[in-house]
A and B are shown apart, each in its own frame.
Chain A
Amino acid sequence: MRINDRVFGMLMLILAVTYGYQATLFPVPFGGQESVGPETFPIMLSVLLGIGSLYMMIKPDEDTKWPPLTMLLELVLVCGVLVAFAWSIEYVGFIISAAFTVAFLSWRMGATIAKSSITGAVTSLVIFVLFNKVLELALPSGILGF
């Protein structure tokens, strides 16, 4: 199968065209038009990307295998947890969200629930103390506020 490269090439071609088109819409800079405006370089890039993506579609390489659907869903879940970590760090605080994130990751990588919880708790505490006390770099303490 050589579908990966074709699809990706198509997406890149769309990106190249939109990017190039958007660059032509830039306002004329204050002080008048120069030979190289803010749009010149981006337009050159969109042409380059266009060439590359066309080549990919015309001469695609052999596909590498994608993981099965369950694994893809799991990876999406991991992304979700990482995003949730980013969101919760300011509201819930670093210690709890980091402990949960590390524990979750290590559980998904095959550690037992007990061991991964310990890893999570210890990691988040050590990082928190190291950053807040030793390096004097405030990580939000959140609802544990002390």
Chain B
Amino acid sequence: METLSLLFDGFTVALAPESLMFAMIGAILGTLIGALPGLGPANGVAILIPLAFSLGLSATSSLILLTSVYAGAMYGGRISSILLNIPGDEPAMMTCLDGYPMALKGKAAEALATSAIASFIGSFIATIGLVILAPILAKFALKFGPAEYFALFALAFATLGGITGKNQFKTLIAAALGLMIATVGIDISTGVQRFTYNSLHLFEGIDFLIAIVGLFAISELFFFLEAHAGDGLKQVALNKLKLTAKDILFVLPASIRGALLGFVSGVLPGAGASLGSFISYTMEKKASDKDGTFGKGDPRGVAAPEAGNNGAASGALVPMLTLGVPGSGTTAVLLAMLISLNVNPGPMLFQQNPELVWSVIAALFVGNLVLLLLNIPMVGIFVKLLSIPPKYLMPIVTMVAAVGIYSITSSAVDLYFMVGFGVMGYVLRKIDIPLVPVILGMLLGPEMEKNLRHALVLSDGDWTTLLSSGLSIGLWSVALAGLLLPILVGPILRAKMKRSKAATEEA
């Protein structure tokens, strides 16, 4: 009951006219960002964080704005999957399988509408799950001491590559690089300068917003230049929408199943949205593909992965809000946003800042409804904007990102760093080293070191304290499993995902 009344309070904040406006702006921006191939949700949110700062918004307003962007980006990803056969991000890959064939059959509008409804159902169910599960997990997490937290952070890194991760050692390198960047600056507990080389700019460390924008947005620019992708791709034309209640009822069970599966895989560490949409699609195919219509434009094949994808996106917020440990790239960026707003996620957040948490959760509900209402009638506008060729769009996006970075401290040095991180991102991507662990390392580094210190100070320097409680042993073993499982199961799963994609392309 307590949860309900808190949620109700949250709704009074989220339904205030100002919040509604921010939710609306966020939803529109997010859909656009998600729809642009190559930009992706993590990128989009990263670019908008400094801008939300420079607007001088309150913590609640910026959170509402950016969570709507997050939700919107998940909706937007499907537009390019369906019309261009190019997923906006990895989880949207499964939507291509049936979405693009549907569009080719002249049912693009139906595919978009079906997926919008499925997205809504996915997010809605998963947000309910979040409301139920988050407070329980937060209470449980209060039992965590410094040693457990240290283990938890290790677990976050170990499982980040996900079960489909390719090379665990590359994830390790990426995480180590991120953590190393986080050690630059004045050490908080002793005041010793570390790796600053007496440069004043490095005393406060390197702002992770600069790293995020550089690694994601600037390196993306380089990739676009290299691929000569300035002209954009041919997209399938949009037809007039003919959707009846019967069509919606037809995809409803698929959406609900997808949403539940997606939520579970979003909450679990290391599974994430990609696995969520993959499992939803394959399970749905097993359950309802009686006539072999999947992969040839079956609306259920659009609904299931889309619901799974969005369900996982909301599910991923559970560990992020309650433990401060994000499970995916985009939630890592959301964590960056919370930290920069001086909100520290973790179990204490639910006790110290309940208004904020619950208004964000309420904003998720509201944002989703706004998105559904926006997406069905306005999809034509989004599609038009999508047809602006990247050769005009990417330079503009780059400039907006640069202005955002410049506005943090009004210093050109930050921009030099941004370009530097861009080059680093380009090289790392060429070597196949994932970028998300780098970001996560920068975000979690200070907390991880602090917890290690606390644990060892409490035990008087006895390192076995890290393994002293059952809980921490459990966390370490999950972390170990997270490292080893992908090596064993990963190749099989990846091959499966590839096969189902290849099979539909031939068909």
Residues of A within 8 A of B (CB): 4-5, 8, 12, 16, 19, 22-23, 26-27, 29-31, 34-38, 40-42, 45-46, 48-49, 51-53, 55-56, 61, 64, 66-67, 71, 74-75, 78-79, 82-83, 85-87, 89-90, 98, 101-103, 105-106, 108-111, 115-116, 119-120, 123-124, 127, 131, 135, 137-139
Contacts and interface: CB of A to CB of B under 8 A. Distances in A.
B321 interface: no
B412 A90 contact: yes
Contacts of A119: 392, 395-396
18 contacts: A5-B431, A19-B195, A29-B191, A34-B461, A36-B452, A42-B180, A64-B431, A75-B226, A82-B402, A86-B402, A89-B412, A101-B399, A111-B392, A119-B396, A123-B395, A127-B400, A131-B403, A139-B406
A137 B404 CA distance: 11
Interface stretch (B167-175, B299-307, B335-343): B167-175
Contacts of A56: 169-170, 173
A82 B419 contact: yes
Nearest to B229: A109
A120 to B, nearest CB: 8
Majority SS at the chain A contact face: helix
A13 to B, nearest CB: 10
Contacts of A51: 169, 172
Most central of B54, B191, B228, B392 by chain A CB within 10 Å: B392
A52 to B, nearest CB: 4
Interface of B: 54-55, 166-167, 169-170, 172-173, 175-177, 179-180, 183, 187, 189-192, 194-195, 218, 221-222, 224-226, 228-231, 389-392, 394-396, 398-400, 402-403, 406-407, 410, 412, 415-416, 418-419, 422-423, 426-427, 430-432, 448-449, 452-453, 456-457, 460-461
Given A26-B194, A83-B416, A127 B403 contact: yes
A6 B416 CA distance: 29
A145 B99 CA distance: 53
6 A-B pairs with the lowest CB-CB distances in the bound complex, closest first: A35-B461, A86-B415, A109-B230, A29-B190, A105-B395, A110-B230
Contact of A49 (B176, B228, B461): B176
A95 B220 CA distance: 24
B399 A98 contact: yes
B499 to A, nearest CB: 20
A45 B419 contact: no
B55 A135 contact: yes
B169 A52 contact: yes
Contact of B191 (A30, A131, A139): A30
Contacts of B427: 8
A33 to B, nearest CB: 10
A25 to B, nearest CB: 10
A97 B145 CA distance: 52
Nearest to B429: A64
B176 A48 contact: yes
Most central of B183, B389, B391 by chain A CB within 10 Å: B391
A85 to B, nearest CB: 7
B226 to A, nearest CB: 5
Contact of B407 (A71, A120, A131): A131
Nearest to B405: A86
Given A34-B461, A82-B218, 12 more contacts: A5-B431, A22-B195, A29-B190, A35-B461, A36-B452, A75-B222, A86-B416, A110-B391, A111-B389, A111-B392, A119-B395, A127-B399
Most central of B170, B427, B431 by chain A CB within 10 Å: B431
A98 B395 CA distance: 10
Contacts of B230: 106, 109-111
B406 A105 contact: no
A45 B412 contact: no
Contacts of A120: 395
Nearest to A4: B431
B430 A64 contact: yes
Contacts of B170: 52, 56, 61
Contacts of A82: 218, 402, 415, 419, 422
Most central of B180, B228, B407, B432 by chain A CB within 10 Å: B180
B396 A123 contact: yes
Nearest to B426: A75
Most central of A31, A45, A120, A139 by chain B CB within 10 Å: A45
A112 to B, nearest CB: 10
A49 B225 contact: no
A70 to B, nearest CB: 11
B41 to A, nearest CB: 23
A26 to B, nearest CB: 5
Contacts of B390: 109
A75 B225 contact: yes
Contacts of A27: 192
B457 A45 contact: no
Contacts of A102: 395-396, 398-399
Given A36-B457, A89-B415, A109 B225 contact: yes
Contacts of A98: 399, 403
A63 to B, nearest CB: 9
A53 B176 CA distance: 11
Contacts of A111: 230, 389, 391-392
Given A52-B172, A71-B226, A85-B415, A106 B392 contact: yes
A78 to B, nearest CB: 6
B449 A105 contact: no
Contacts of B231: 110
